[in-house]
Structure formats: structure tokens, C-alpha cells
Structure 1
Amino acid sequence: MTDWYFSHIVLVQSTLTTLLLALRVQVPLRAGVFSFAGVGCYGIGGYVAAIGLTHYGLSTATSITLAAVIAGVVAYGLGVLIQRLTGLYLAMATVAFTLIISVLAVNGGDLTGGASGLFGALGMLDTGHLLAVAGVVVALLAASEFGSMGRRIDAVREDPELASAMGINVARYRRATFAVSGVLGGLAGSMTVLLRSTVTPNDINFHLVVLALTIIIVGGSRSWIGALIGSVIFVWLPEVLAFVGEWEDVVYGVLVAAAAVYLPGGVVGAVVDGYRAYSRKRRATADIAPPRPVAAATSGGRGA
């Protein structure tokens, strides 16, 4: 077991950081907000952590904390600025925000390293630190999926007008999803960069949007479990498909397309739907009353 772990430690760490990457898109989607601002915050977090470590000599913990806070504040400000947008227009605005962050990184001069990026930002991180952060994040998000909080978020997603009529501040919940997504993006970006020791503008690109959205589509958008399943699939799938050689991308694409077509709710959605169908079948079977037994004739039967 130990040998397996050390031979796959990069994949294990990548799974944890990819989980945070996926959660930063899953959180807004769960509230009905089609936002990719967390991807831009991934870049903010990566650069803030690298700058803090290389230019100002900050510790690893301080750099990560500062990156998460700044990314969360920026994301919240963006949410306030574009809160009137919905649907495709909101999505395009957040994609534009991500591209703007990339342009700022290219033109940041010595602070960001320009087009070459920053190197030597190696933090004191290990798998235990990543697991602890991911565990806290998952525990908090899981708690928000149940009880009154979970019901309010579901109402905001399913019917914002009805939720507003019931006294739920829809705009506040949507702004909160921007802030949470920003913090998660800052955490993912900062820890990824401090593990790899380098960050470049190419790391903040549209491919991150596609990756995060694909993970959520395949895994499921209604729960953190979907983000975890999708992260495991897309981090480990290339390792599994290594035997197909140059056909790897073809097989990869077919699997993703098949999942999108036949699992519209993702893997988690398929499991939940199957369980509900099984439960309904069991209840229907239990509701069918057994036939009443025929009363036995008494030994002292009446004569004709």
C-alpha cells in the first residue's frame, strides 16, 4: 500500500486540488448561478500565493490564506457588479473576467513575471495539508446541503420568484455563492501553484472552464459527491487509458459524450434516480394488500 501511494502521490494530490477546482463551479450551479468566476479566482489565488512567497517571503500558510481572502473579496465584488445578469449573459461575463485576469498576469511586469510567469514558489505542502483543507471544505458544503439551508438553496435554484415571495433573499444567496466560489478558487490556485512551484498566464485559460464544467456534468451538480466522483474520474482516467496509446483522446471523448447523453444528472443523479425508483417500487408492492383468507367452516355448522 505504501509503495502504491508513493508511486501515485502526484495523482492523489491532483485529485484533491481538482476537487476544489470543481467545487468552485458546483457551488454556484447548485444555487442556479451559471458562473465561472471561480476559474478566474484560481488565477488570482495562484499569483497572490506565488508573489507572497517569492517577492515578500511570506510563509506557506499566510500566502494561501491571503490568496483565498483576496480571491473571495474580488469574486464578491464581481457578484455585486453583475448580479442583474442571468443565464448565458452571466456565464459570458464571468468567462470574460477569467480572460481579463489572464491578460493582467501577462502585463503585470516584474510583479507577475509577465508572459513567462513566476518560478521558485515552492511551498511547504504535502498530501496531509491538502486532505485537511479538502476535508474541511467538503464538511462545510455537505452541511449546507441539508436542513433549512439546503431547502433555501434548492428553492433559489428551482424557482427564484417563489423563493423571493417566501421571504428568501435570492440576491444575497447568489452573491454568497460568488464569494464561496472565489475562496475555493483561491485555495485551489494557491495550493496547486505552491505544489508545482510555478505559475504562468497559460495556467489561467478557458481549458480550466471546460475541465471544471465537464467534471460537474459527469459527476453531478447537485452535491459535492458529484464533484468528487468527477474529479476522481478525470484525474485517473488518463492513467487507466494509457494502454490505448494514441487513441486515448478518442476514447476519452466518447466516454464524456456518452455520460452527457445517458447520464443527464451525472453519476450521482443516476444513482439517486435509481434509488428513488427502487423505493417507489417497494412501496407500491407493500401497498398491495394480500388476499383475505376464506373463513373456515365451523365444526357445528347449521343445517339446511
Structure 2
Amino acid sequence: MSTFYYSHIVLFQSTFTVLLLALSIQVQLRMGVFSFAGAGFYGLGSYGAAIFVIRYGFSSFAAIATIMIVCGVIGFLLALLVQRLNGLYLAMATVSFDLIITVVAHNGGAFTGASVGLFGALAYPQLTIGHIIAITVLVVALLALSERGRLGRRIDAVREDPELASSMGVNVSRYRISSFVISGFIGALGGAINVLLRTTVAPESIGFPLVVLGLTIIIVGGGRSWLGIVIGAVIFTWLPYYLEIVGQYQAIVYGIIVAIAAVYVPGGIYGTVLDLVRKSKARRLAGDARVKAPDDAVEKLDLAEAGDKP
């Protein structure tokens, strides 16, 4: 097991950073905000952490915390800027935000490393797999809590029918704005961890490809819950390794997988499994009701007959 782990350590690390990327997009979609800003925050987190470490000598955790705060503020300002947009217009605005970050990285001169990028983002303490697991589990646990109880019901209402939610006293605008801030935190966290593990970042590693990757994970894994995102992140982190045998046809295989998932598994793997479990439980309950029905009828008949006797 240890030999397998050390020979695939990059894939294990990437699983967690890709998971954080997808969660930064999913958290907004779950609130009914059709936004891909999480990919932009991931890029900002990568470049921001690298700049803080290389230019200003920040420690690992100081760089991560600082860029998370910066991206949280940017997320808040971006939310105010696009708060009147919805649907496709909002999606295009946030994709433009992602592309602007890539353009700035390309044209940032020595500060961003221009087309070459930044190298040597070495900071102490060095991040270990234990640090990454602990951080990711904390993020997932907080998101899992947001799917339950009163908060979960409010988020569902904001997503499914914002007008009805607003009429019931839910501040829809506050949830929309908070989704950008949370996306900024999670996206920056994933990007910062990634660059501190790889020690390098370039414009080619951020931008629109991250949108495609995150959306693919959500479609295939299932966007209803964090569990679907975990499934999708594992699949699309490890799939390229096992598809090396097809070489240049990997993109075609990806396209086929996503098309099949979109057509035949619209709720993703997790959503489909959840629906099957619910249908199976409903059929079992219906069967139990049919079995008990004759006994109940006999019992009622006996009681009626007993009531007719003098």
C-alpha cells in the first residue's frame, strides 16, 4: 500500500485540490446562482499564494489565510457588481471574470511571471497529506452541515423558488452574496494548496479549463450534495492516469462520458443512486402496506361485529 501511495502521491494530492475547486463552483449552483467564479478564485489563490511566498516571504498557512481573505473580499465585490444578473448572463459574466484573471497573469510582467509563470513557491511548514486531508475534511463537514436542518431547507428554497423564499422572509440577496464569498474562500484555498504543493503556477494551469473540469465533476458526480462532488473528483483525477493507453483520444472519451451522464444520468452518479434507494424504499413500504391491509380489514370487521352484539 505504501509503495502504491508514494508512486501516486501527486494523484492523491490532486484529488483534494480538485475537490476544493469543484466545491467552490457547486456551492453557488446549490444556492441557485449560475456562476463559475470558483475557477477564477482558484486561479487567484494559486497566483496570490505564490506571490506572497516568493515576493514577501510568507509562511504556508499565512499565505493561505491571506489569499482566502483577499478572495473573500473580491467575491463580495463581484457579487455586488453582478447582483442584477441571472441565468446565462450571470454565467457569462463569471466566465469573463475567470478569463480576465488569465489575461492579467499573462500580462503581469515580472510580478506574475508573464507567460512563463512563477517558480519556487517553497514555504514552511511544508504541507503534508495530513494537513491537506484535515483542511478538506473541515470544509466538507461545514458544507455537509449546510445541507441539513433549517439552513439546508432555506438554501433549497432559494434555489428552487427564490420568489416564494423571499415572500416567506428569506433574504435571497444575502444568500446570493454569501455564495460568492464562500466560493472565494474555498476556491482560493484549493488554488493556494495546489501551488504550495507544486511550487509553480503558470497561466495555462488556470482559466477556462478549470471551469470545464469543475462542471464535468458536478455533472458526472452529482451536484445535489458534497458526496456527489467527492465521487466526481475521484473519477476525474484518476481517470486520466488509467486512460493513458488511449493517448490523444482522451478528450473524446471524456466527451462521451459527459454526454452519457447528461442524457442518461441527469442527476449524476450520486443523484441516480439516491433516487434508486428512495424508489426501492417506497416499493418496500408499499409492499408492507399491502401485506398488512387484509389483517387490518379483518380486525376492523371483528370490532364492528363486536359492537353490534347486545
Paired residue secondary structure (1:114): coil
TM-score, normalising length from structure 2?
Answer: 0.91
Q: Is the 8 A contact 2:217 2:232 kept in 1?
A: yes
The offset of 1:255, in angstroms, is 2.0
The alpha carbon displacement at 1:282 in A equals 1.1
How far residue 196 of structure 1 moved from its aligned partner, in angstroms, is: 1.1
Give the conservation status (yes or no) of the 8 Å contact 1:38–1:75.
no
Q: Is the 8 A contact 2:101 2:207 kept in 1?
A: no
Residue in 1 aligned with 2:74?
A: 74
Q: Hey, what's the Cα distance between the residues in 2 that align with 1:267 and 1:149? A: 25
1:257-268 paired onto structure 2 within 5 Å: 257-268=259-270
Name the residue aligned to 1:44. 44
Deviations 1:259-292 (A, max 9, x none): 1211100011101110111111012112213545
**How far apart are the structure 2 equivalents of 1:180 and 1:45?**
13
Q: Deviations over 1:44-93 (max 9, x none)?
A: 11111111111111111101111111111101110111111000000000
Q: Which structure 2 residues correspond to residues 56-205 of structure 1 after superposition, within 5 A?
A: 56-123=56-123, 124-205=126-207
Q: What amino acid is aligned across from residue 287 of structure 2 in structure 1?
A: T
The CA deviation at 1:42 is 1.1
Structure 2 spans left out of the alignment, 5+ residues: 302-310
- Distance between the aligned counterparts of 1:219 and 1:38, measured in 2? 18
Structure 1 runs not aligned, ≥5 long: 296-304
Count of residues paired in the alignment: 295
1:90 aligned partner, one-letter code: L
Deviation at 1:256, TM superposition (A): 2.2
Q: Which of 230, 233, 240 matches 2:232? A: 230
Equivalent position amino acid for 1:59 in 2: S
Kindly, what percent of the aligned residue pairs are identical? 57
With the length of structure 1 as denominator, give the TM-score of the two structures.
0.93
Match of 1:282 among 256, 281, 284: 284
The whole-number CA distance in structure 2 between the counterparts of 1:109 and 1:251 is: 38
CA distance in 1, matches of 2:249, 2:175: 44
Task: For 2:220, give the aligned amino acid.
Answer: V
For residues 188 and 230 of structure 1, the distance between their equivalents in structure 2, rounded to whole angstroms, comes to 16
Q: Report the Cα distance in structure 1 between the residues aligned to 2:250 and 2:87, rounded to whole angstroms.
A: 34
Deviations 1:16-62 (A, max 9, x none): 00000000010000001011111111111111111111111111110
Q: Are 1:21 and 1:39, in contact at CA under 8 Å, matched by a contact in 2?
A: yes
Counterpart of 2:254 in structure 1 is: 252
In the alignment, structure 1 residue 8 sits paired with structure 2 residue 8 = yes
Residues of 2 paired with 1:57 and 1:245: CA distance?
A: 41
8 Å contact 2:21–2:190 — kept in the other structure? yes
2: CA distance, partners of 1:49 / 1:36? 21
Q: Which has the higher helix share?
A: 2
- Structure 1 distance, partners of 2:49, 2:269, is 34
Number of the residue aligned with 2:308: none
SS for the counterpart of 2:283 is helix
CA distance in structure 2 between the partners assigned to 1:132 and 1:206 by the alignment: 29
CA contact (8 A) 1:34 1:91 kept: yes
For residues 160 and 293 of structure 2, the distance between their equivalents in structure 1, rounded to whole angstroms, comes to: 41
Matched, 1:239 2:247: no
1:276/1:180 Cα in 2 relative to 1: closer, same or farther (>3 Å)?
A: same
- 1:300 corresponds in structure 2 to none
SS, match of residue 200 in structure 2: strand
C-alpha spacing 1:248/1:93, structure 2 compared with 1 (3 Å): closer
Opposite residue 47 of structure 1, the aligned amino acid is Y
Match of 2:304 in 1: none
Instruction: Work out the CA distance in 1 between the residues paired with 2:189 and 2:202.
Output: 17
Separation in 2, partners of 1:248, 1:67:
34
- Asked if the contact 2:219–2:258 (Cα under 8 Å) also holds between the matched residues in 1, the reply is no
Give a deviation string over 1:91-118, Cα, whole Å, max 9, x none: 0000111111112222222221222211
Residue type matched to 1:131 in 2?
I
Amino acid across the alignment from 2:191: G
Over aligned residues, Cα RMSD in angstroms? Answer: 1.7
